[in-house]
Structure 1
Amino acid sequence: MKGGLRMTGGEGLASTSKISQQVKRARQMDLHVHTTYSDGNSELRAVVDKAIALGIKDLGITDHYGDLEWYSITSITQLDEYIAELTGLKQLYQPKINIWIGLEMSILNGLPFLQLNKLDYALFEDVEMGPRLSHLVSQVKPQLKIPVGIAHAQVIFLEKSADILEKEKIFIELNTHYPDRYRSNWARSIWHKLASRDIRLSVGSDAHDTKRIGDTGDAIRFMEENGLSQKLWLPSKQQQK
């Protein structure tokens, strides 16, 4: 995308200093990491310690929640333990690092909203368009008090969903485990249409072991190259509705 994408509207008026601060924060952020609570290979404390060693300031733990025992947190008891341990580590590791509690989910029915609303954010898979997006918006999101994003979004499917994503404040994840989903030639034309929208972007490595924690450079470069840095989604308690 030669020259990057031209931003319009209020987002395009963000100051250079504000954008540079966002870029700096993005370079110290990884908001999609798995642990042994689901299908990751590293214990939670090992993940946090590695993130600190790498200079990461914002670490999002997003283990799977679902109905596959070998792959996900499957019970309320496990989910309560997950939230409790992460809440304790948040306090223990401040101010060295901000730990954000998330989940990655593919299921849309039978969700434990009491527990989910104790998270900092939630990522949903395969909800870019169609009936699953409609169900997310009509049945799931109204019961959530936390920010919602689309995990490793396939950008080519988002053109017809842009109005909904903007209205519902659903952010899009740039996931470096699947760079073709945001860098492909097909995605390029869609970005030109999404650029003027007030739709935020998060960055995540989808790390399942400590070797890939913080491997978000490609997504950050993509945002910088295409004038999308001011679109960075930043987790905070203030974003909870």
Structure 2
Amino acid sequence: MAFSMKKALLLVSILALGFVLAHFGVKQVQATTPTNPTLFTLFALFAGWNSTSPPGTITPCSPSGQATCNPTIIEFRGVSFRATIKWGGTGESMHTFAIYTSDITPDNVSNTDSCIASAKSGCLAASHPVTSLSPTATLTFSPQVPVDGPPFSGPGVYQFYCQFHPQTMHGMFQLYKNPDPTNAGRVVIGDLATIAFYFNQNTTSTNAVADLNNDGKVNINDLAFDAFYWNDTI
């Protein structure tokens, strides 16, 4: 009986992966080497994070939420990511990369803020400043949201700011549960099988790990999200 269940889970996972690849066009499957979504680089410019405007431009980049203007970055609960921050170049001033809780508005961000990783509101962590004399900084951080419900309110949210220029340098983190629930170090068939085991169930404390988008139900959206990171290092 146990062997049959394992075979069924494997079959469901393979079929689900095939469905997702056919309908969602997963880019990683075409790659010759796995990627690592927990490593990323941001360029610090007054006009906005990753702005394509020349250094020193004071007009804010637009539209926000794009890769080249104050991006929204997907990361995972309980998985440390490492951000590399690069100074934007001649004409730019001092910048920091600081992570804040979802409730903090630009008007409430300051370079004098204290940062505590466990804070319920405020600054969670910040890099040292990047300048012409120190053009690169790194910051490692492990998200602690979304919290398992109920209520199940979807992915968690953090924000990132430059503490000197929060009005123009303001991006978002969208935070999902770990797509590698088997802790294999990479998204593998066992992770899809874990989600398939709880497929179409309402989320409880038993199966919360499989509800990757934290919406209260284990469904095709969770499988699609997992398959998107297929073979990636986590």
TM-score (norm 2): 0.26
* Larger helix percent: 1
Higher Cα radius of gyration: 2
